[in-house]
Structure 1
Amino acid sequence: MLWQSFDHPSDTFLPDMRIRVSRGGRAGDRLVSWKSPGDPSPGGFTYGIDPVTSLQLFTWNGSSPLWRSGVWTGYRVASDFIEETGAVVLLTVLDLKDDASMSFDIRPPVTRTRYVMSYSGELVLQSWNNASLEWDELGVWPPHGCSRYGYCGAFGYCDNTVAAPTCKCLDGFAPASPEEWSSGRFSSGCRRKEELRCGDGDGFLPLPAMKAPDRFVVVGNRSLDECAAECRRNCSCVAFAYANLSSSAKGDPTRCLVWVGELIDAEKIGGNVAGSETLHLRLAGLAKGRRMGRKTLKTALLVLAGILLTCIFLLILWICKCKGIKQKRRKHRILVLGDLSDPKGFGEGSPTEGYEFPVVSFRDIIAATDNFHESCMIGKGGFGKVYKANLDGQEVAIKRLSRDSEQGIVEFRNEVVLIAKLQHRNLVKFLGCSIEGDEKLLIFEHMPNKSLDALLFSATRKTRLDWPTRFNIIKGVAKGLLYLHQDSRLKIIHRDLKASNILLDEDMRPKIADFGMARMFSDNQQNANTKRVAGTYGYMAPEYAMRGVFSAKSDVYSFGVLVLELVSGVKISSTDQIMEFEDLIDYAWNLWKDGKAKNLLDLSIVESCVPNEVLLCVHIGLLCVQDNPNDRPLMSSVLFVLENGSTTLPIPKKPVYFAHRNNEVEQGRGNSQSSKNSVTLSALDGR
């Protein structure tokens, strides 16, 4: 057979016809709608197998999902009972490898059946009526209502087991905006009633008969227990699902799915329906406490231990009073901190041991801020509030961490020691700190122009950022990162580089701030791994968000996102200005690929821009956000090209879709204080 029309689908899908996920290295087959009832040219709607996972079916409107099937659980993807004919439609996946394909048949047979991708985006099942000589409609996908893709928002699900399907929140969640839900608008989704504690009481609640959510990560070669353990040991994992496909899959018969971030497009579809499976949802407070025996003995021991501890405490107080150890708090003192990699404390012999800096009296701070009066407040965020004050004749910014802030004592010490030891014109200058009971305060130089995001993403204030200013900010941030990665005494990985953590001084000079999540590397260390992934989706490198692996290349990825934001004036989490593209990175790469990179430029700086500099920055930004860390350049190469230009830059690779969402994995710490160069032949290569 040399050629057959079945290999070239249009808008019609017939029995025994296959839709392939990939073919000959090209994109997989899709049904494509007509443009209109009378115009057979390609329209905006398509239907086919998910090219990323090959495990589910999608209807797309352009590049945006419109409807999604259940995840593959065996040989059938979906089945629907047709009441008029008493038939069952079977959508069948023939293989799960690179040549995966899908076909359909109807049992018992119904002659002359077909699927048609309508011009309005519906997949219509039809059968030929010999009496009327017309096609009768048997079923329509996607169904109307809450089963549309993402309709119920994050952590919401569509309950299709009732007569009138409606949106509900997953167990352990409540509507994020009750007012919107009561008015029939569900896009705000749901939020947890109780936050996870990462192993301290967390457990998994099985939710049977569910359609698994989208944006999962497939982990191969795992048993059910190993799949559960994979999710349990990753504090960012919010759910998992497992299936044994030994009866239909080749090679590895297991299918372990894990989710990090939000759960999107889940459904309650009932039992005995293909695609139905059990979703194990991570919730706080489910772990059962161990049984305690011998209650009488335990109570007696506790009472005895309490009496003993009380006596020891009173003895220590008496010794301190007698020897005069208790003294008045001094304005300046020495805080000795040790190894930053030890989460339990800071030991001896670290590069930061014995470093002196001022610890300011809490009483002085209260006086300078008029007891933290609102008139002195210049910003706030998830960490707490920032106040402007005058200490010893100098204007300062005082960062007051709220008592329920995610920035604990480890992060506080981390930021104090790192920022005190690091001295660079593109890093915010640390002046001191204060500790009084539960109060933790950091004191920095005051930045009159606040944070970069306050200007860049404001329609009225972004005009202050002309192209020369933005280009200087890009180079300044690059210099600061190069100092952290290579030139400072301590090799530092920032881990939370974003626009809100770039402060601007009176000359619009950028200064990197917020070192609460930074980590110190040894000279020979290349990367590290953490179970506590913290940062902001969109700025986080894929290997860090998915596997907790971070390195200097993770900061390079965040820098690339920041460069694309500065060029475009579009926030990474925004979808208003990038049309049908997944995110800003996808949008920028497609413009660059089509030779239209100049269209990415913020319209407010068209008159002040230097085209060659803009194109160079777009190119560098795309190189920095490549999925493979080894493909990303070092900051030394980035800075050299920014200052000298280059004609031999490598071609950036196409980014793989990664769920960039502006969700805080850990509560954000953003600060709310918030001439043309000559061209050389130097190459910017990833190492």
Structure 2
Amino acid sequence: MVGEASMGESAQNETSLLSTLPKELPLEFFTEITSGFSKDRILRASAFGTFYTGILQNGLVVCVKKLAENLQIPAGRQFDNEATNLLVAQHENIVKLLGFCRQITKKVVEHNARFILVDKDECVLCYEHVPRGSLRDYLSDDKMVPKIADFGLSRFFNREQSRLYTINVAGLKGYMAPEYLQRGEISWQCDIYSLGVLIIEITTREKNCCDDKDKSGREYISSVRRTWTDEHITIKYMSLDADRLQQVKACIDIGFKCVDVNQKNRPSTVEIVDRLHGKRAG
């Protein structure tokens, strides 16, 4: 009991200290706490940017994400406004955004065999540190309280920009959309694909164990589609009544729609939420 109380007090103190951080911070602050965005501090990389371990002067650990240069962040105050909105998002399944930075720096680039000086947007987001890190580890816990990072990040796209392309394909194997892997194409439909795999994995309780040849998890999806018939669902969830069995079937059906190879056939978040609430598409 003493140990539990100490851990609880420590977590409360850490939360209290983190809440005192200014919300809009200079680039120099993030450069300092990541040792100059050192390679030794890299946690992981994605199409949206690179995560670094940040250590504050008081020893507290945070997660710092430096956004990729090709993200084409919207100009003016739109980035600041969106980041500020994300700061107030409070949910147990969302990794909390603690602060942010957008700063224009000068960079020398080569253009037409000449070196020129251009403006470069440096955009950084600072998140709470999630010790367990991997979503897969959270899905294996008894309490199952996964944390979603990059929540709302797609809102940083320009309104005219529905997708972008990258040559630096990186992500969690088994959850990456085919168009992202094959063409480096990034859009909101990529997120829907990843969500679909998660819904299937959580509902069936079967792990998506893929390899380098199946980074989209297509073999896993095909296996579930073959096995998880209505009869199989009934056998696996014998303790559930008819209404809850129908909910399980609906979740699996939603998951399959989300992982459609044709990204245009994937449902929107509104459609997914409506289905989860029992509403049928008109």
TM tier relative to shorter chain: 0.5 to 0.7
Aligned position for 2:64:
399
Aligned to 2:135: 452
Trace 1:336-485 onto structure 2 (pairs within 5 A). Answer: 357-359=24-26, 361-362=28-29, 366=33, 380-382=43-45, 383=50, 385-387=52-54, 389=56, 397-399=62-64, 408-410=68-70, 420-423=83-86, 424-426=89-91, 427-433=94-100, 442-447=125-130, 450-457=133-140, 462-465=141-144
After TM superposition, give the deviation of residue 517 of structure 1 in Å. Answer: 8.1
CA contact (8 A) 1:425 1:511 kept: no
Shift of 1:589: 0.9
Q: Counterparts of 1:607 and 1:512 in 2: how far apart (Å)?
A: 34
| Closer/same/farther in 2, CA of residues 622 and 360 from structure 1, 3 Å limit | same
Does the 8 A contact of 1:456 with 1:566 survive in 2?
yes
The amino acid that maps onto 1:463 is D
Residue 408 (structure 1) shift: 4.5
Q: Deviations over 1:319-354 (max 9, x none)?
A: xxxxxxxxxxxxx99xxxxxxxxxxxxxxxxxxxxx
Q: Contact between 1:418 and 1:515, CA under 8 Å: does it hold in 2?
A: no
Seen in structure 2, the aligned counterparts of structure 1 residues 585 and 520 have a Cα distance that, compared at 3 Å, is same
Aligned-partner Cα distance in 1 for 2:230–2:165: 39
Secondary structure, aligned partner of 1:463: coil
Aligned length: 223
Query: Any idea what SS the aligned residue of 2:280 has?
Result: coil
Q: For residues 421-446 of structure 1, what are the alpha-carbon distances to aligned partners after superposition, in whole Å with 9 as ceiling and x for unaligned?
A: 44233554433357899999642234
Which among 260, 263, 278 is matched to residue 629 of structure 1?
263
- Name the CA distance, whole Å, in 2 between partners of 1:388 and 1:569: 36
Q: What does the per-residue CA deviation read over 1:82-134, in whole Å, with 9 as the maximum and x for residues that have no partner?
A: xxxxxxxxxxxxxxxxxxxxxxxxxxxxxxxxxxxxxxxxxxxxxxxxxxxxx
Structure with higher RCO (Cα < 8 A, 6+ apart): 2
Q: Distance in 1 between matches of 2:188 and 2:30?
A: 40
Question: What does 1:207-246 align with in structure 2 at a 5 Å threshold?
Answer: none
Which one-letter code corresponds to 2:201 in the other structure? E
1:621, distance to aligned residue in structure 2 (A): 0.5
1:617 has 2:254 as partner: no
SS at match of 1:620: helix
Read off the aligned partner of 2:259 and give its amino acid letter. V
User: For 1:561, which of 194, 197, 200 is the aligned residue?
Assistant: 197
Shift of the 620–509 alpha-carbon distance from structure 1 to 2, 3 Å rule, reads: same
CA 409–530 in structure 1, closer or farther in 2 if over 3 Å, else same? closer
User: SS at 2:210's partner residue?
Assistant: coil
Q: Residue 574 in 1 paired to residue 193 in 2?
A: no
**Cα distance, 1:410–1:364 mapped onto 2, change above 3 Å:** closer
SS at match of 2:252: helix
d(CA) in 2 for partners of 1:562, 1:516: 19
What's the offset of the Cα at 1:635? 1.1
1:152-179 C-alpha deviation (Å, 9 max, x unpaired): xxxxxxxxxxxxxxxxxxxxxxxxxxxx
Change (3 A) 1:633 1:532: same
Q: Does structure 2 retain, via aligned residues, the 8 Å contact 1:591–1:599?
A: no
Q: 1:395: Cα distance to partner?
A: 5.7
- Match status 1:585 vs 2:228: no
1:596 is the counterpart of 2:249: no
Query: What residue identity is the alignment partner of 1:357?
Result: E
CA distance in 1, matches of 2:260, 2:234: 20
Paired residue type of 1:634: S
CA distance 1:519–1:591, shift in 2 (3 Å): farther
Contact 1:433 1:442 in 2 (8 A): yes
1:358–1:385 distance in 2 versus 1, CA, 3 Å: closer
Asked if the contact 1:387–1:398 (Cα under 8 Å) also holds between the matched residues in 2, the reply is: yes
1:548–1:428 distance in 2 versus 1, CA, 3 Å: same
Does structure 1 retain, via aligned residues, the 8 Å contact 2:274–2:280?
no
Residue of structure 1 equivalent to 2:116: none
Q: Aligned residue for 1:639?
A: 273
Give 1:512's match in structure 2, choosing from 149, 174, 185.
149
Alignment of 1:268-279 (within 5 A): none
Following superposition of structure 1 onto structure 2, how do residues 51-130 of structure 1 map, counting pairs within 5 Å?
A: none
Q: For 2:228, what is the secondary structure of its paired residue?
A: helix
- Sort the Cα spacing of 1:514 and 1:410 in 2 relative to 1 into closer, same or farther, 3 A: farther
How far does residue 639 in structure 1 lie from its aligned partner after superposition?
0.8
Q: What TM-score results when the alignment is normalised by the length of structure 2?
A: 0.55
Cα distance in 1 for residues equivalent to 2:256 and 2:62: 35
The question of 1:683 aligning with 2:266 is answered no
Please give the secondary structure, in 2, of the residue aligned with 1:585.
Answer: helix
Kindly indicate which of the two structures has a greater share of residues assigned to helix.
Answer: 2
Distance, in Å, in 2 between the alignment partners of 1:513 and 1:624 is: 19
The aligned residue for residue 497 of structure 1 is none
**Which consecutive unaligned segments of at least 5 residues does structure 2 have?**
1-20, 108-121, 212-216
Distance 1:463 1:421 in 2: 34
Instruction: State the distance in 2 between where 1:443 and 1:529 align.
Output: 23
- TM value normalised by structure 1: 0.26
Cα distance in structure 2, aligned partners of 1:390 and 1:362: 11
CA contact (8 A) 1:397 1:444 kept: yes
SS of equivalent to 1:637: helix
Distance 1:363 1:621 in 2: 38
Whether the 8 Å contact between 1:564 and 1:621 is mirrored in structure 2 is yes
**What secondary structure sits across from 2:64 in the alignment?**
strand
Q: How far is the alpha carbon of 1:572 from its aligned partner?
A: 3.3
1-side partners of 2:267 and 2:186: how far apart?
15
Contact persistence 2:30–2:54 (CA under 8 A): no
What does 1:227-376 correspond to in 2, within 5 Å? Answer: 357-359=24-26, 361-362=28-29, 366=33
How far 1:387 moved relative to its partner?
A: 4.1
What is the deviation of 1:636? 0.7
Tell me the distance in 2 between the aligned counterparts of 1:543 and 1:363: 33
In structure 1, list runs of 5 or more residues that go unmatched.
Answer: 1-331, 334-355, 402-406, 466-507, 576-580, 646-681
**The residue matched to 2:191 in structure 1 has which SS?**
helix
Q: CA deviation at 1:456?
A: 2.1
In structure 2, distance between residues paired with 1:388 and 1:616: 44
Residues 165 and 185, structure 2, Cα contact 8 Å, conserved in 1: yes
Following the alignment from structure 1 to structure 2, what is the Cα–Cα distance between the partners of residues 410 and 432? Answer: 21
Q: Distance in 1 between matches of 2:255 and 2:207?
A: 14
In structure 2, do the counterparts of structure 1 residues 528 and 512 end up closer, same or farther at CA, with 3 Å as the change threshold?
same
